[in-house]
């Protein structure tokens, strides 16, 4: 996703001179295509995320569209108050780009896991969140950001393959459905979409009709789209590499409650602080119940409870 982002940004920047890219000393071997093509519009500001966001505010007020880049934890949290009092308060087109959302940084530990960034950003009603599920969606989404005059948080995965069936579809404020099964609908955000799609495949082998609702943007709310899908099922399972509070599981719960949908919700995600246990992303996914087999089992368990 990182390389797709860099390539996409080079393309839009070629047509829009307002775009500049700032990094807080991260993105080595990723951002070079932009830096080489637009050396005057690229700047490594040093390991100083707060200053980077503050500066982006000053640059945006003067007419620029600054992209500020770091690992998702640092991009979203270190300068959070600067984001709130800068681009959000002033409604300026700063794009905060966080790479490695979720557990993508594997053995690097909690300091590198962005598992509450969506929750934090979601509370800002005028901050658009874009969290693509795969590189193809990144390619579709980056040009769409150009239409937005306000601030954006772009949450990228580190490395990820294409999500089968998604085919790069992305609509701001929309939900992209994969499959049309309604025995269970997985509601997912970001790179975890791949887990959900695989879980749906496993279930279909057991005769269960499942589909996946990929939420790739929040603010504007994709609640209308999600309500249509959840209105046609009795079981929703949210899937996210994020704490269950405040992320896409919470978003699904809000949609179900506010629309009075007759749909049971099970939330898969982190329920405890991931500390003291390192490993690959898949190891961590298994630890927190996010592997396809676990997600499929969660669905089957609900059917058993329901006596089906």
Partner 1 sequence: MTEQTLAGLIRRLIIDESMRAHVGHIGSALSIADILAALYGGVLRSASSHDPERDRLVLSKGHAALALYAALAASSRLDRALLSTYCGEGSQLGAHPEHVLPGVDFSTGSLGQGLSIGAGSALAARMQGSDRQVYVLMSDAECNEGSVWEAAMFAAHHRLGNLVAIIDVNGQQAFGYTRDVLEPTPLAERWAAFGWNVSEVDGHDVEGLQQSLVAADARDPRPRLLAARTTFGKGVSFMENEIAWHYWPLDALQYERACAELAAADRALVPAR
**Which spans of this chain sit near partner 1 (rule: CB under 8 A)?**
40, 45-46, 48, 50-51, 53-64, 66, 81-82, 85-86, 89-90
Please enumerate in sequence order all residues whose Cβ is within 8 A of that of 304, keeping only pairs 6 or more positions apart, or say none.
none
Shortest gap between Cβ of 190 and partner 1 (angstroms)? 29
Shortest gap between Cβ of 75 and partner 1 (angstroms)? 15
- What whole-number distance in Å separates Cα of residue 45 and Cα of residue 172? 30
Closer of 18 and 182 to partner 1 (Cβ): 18
Shortest gap between Cβ of 87 and partner 1 (angstroms)? 11
Cβ–Cβ under 8 Å, residues 156 and 101 = yes
Closer of 75 and 189 to partner 1 (Cβ): 75
Closer of 27 and 86 to partner 1 (Cβ): 86
Shortest gap between Cβ of 40 and partner 1 (angstroms)? 7
Q: Strand, helix or coil at 230?
A: helix
Closer of 62 and 275 to partner 1 (Cβ): 62
Closer of 23 and 302 to partner 1 (Cβ): 23
Contacts 24+ apart (CB under 8 A), 17-21: 17/41, 18/63, 18/64, 18/65, 19/64, 19/65, 19/66, 19/67, 20/59, 20/64, 20/65, 20/66, 20/67, 21/66, 21/67, 21/69
Shortest gap between Cβ of 131 and partner 1 (angstroms)? 26
């Amino acid at each position: 996703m990182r390389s797709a982002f860099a390539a996409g940004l080079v393309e839009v920047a070629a047509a829009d001179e307002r775009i500049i890219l700032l990094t807080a000393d991260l993105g080595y071997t990723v951002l070079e295509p932009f830096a080489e093509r637009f050396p005057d519009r690229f700047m490594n500001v040093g390991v100083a995320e707060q200053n980077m966001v503050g500066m982006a505010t000053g640059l945006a007020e003067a007419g620029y569209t600054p992209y500020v880049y770091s690992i998702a934890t640092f991009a979203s949290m270190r300068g959070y108050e600067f984001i709130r009092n800068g681009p959000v308060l002033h409604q300026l087109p700063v794009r905060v780009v966080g790479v490695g959302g979720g557990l993508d940084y594997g053995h690097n530990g909690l300091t590198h896991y962005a598992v509450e960034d969506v929750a934090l950003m979601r509370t800002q009603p005028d901050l658009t969140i874009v969290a693509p599920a795969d590189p193809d969606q990144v390619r579709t989404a980056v040009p769409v950001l150009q239409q937005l005059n306000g601030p954006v948080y772009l949450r990228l995965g580190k490395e990820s393959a294409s999500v089968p069936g998604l085919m790069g579809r992305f609509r701001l404020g929309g939900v992209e459905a994969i499959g049309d099964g309604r025995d269970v609908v997985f509601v997912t955000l970001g790179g975890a979409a791949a887990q959900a799609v695989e879980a749906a495949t496993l279930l279909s082998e057991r005769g269960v009709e499942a589909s996946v609702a990929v939420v790739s943007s929040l603010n504007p709310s994709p609640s209308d789209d999600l309500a249509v899908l959840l209105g046609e099922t009795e079981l929703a399972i949210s899937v996210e590499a994020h704490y269950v509070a405040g992320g896409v599981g919470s978003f699904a719960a809000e949609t179900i409650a506010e629309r009075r949908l007759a749909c049971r919700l099970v939330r898969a995600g982190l329920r405890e602080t991931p500390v003291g246990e390192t490993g690959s992303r898949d190891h961590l996914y298994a630890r927190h119940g996010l592997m396809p087999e676990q997600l499929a089992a969660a669905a089957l368990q609900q059917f058993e409870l329901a006596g089906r």
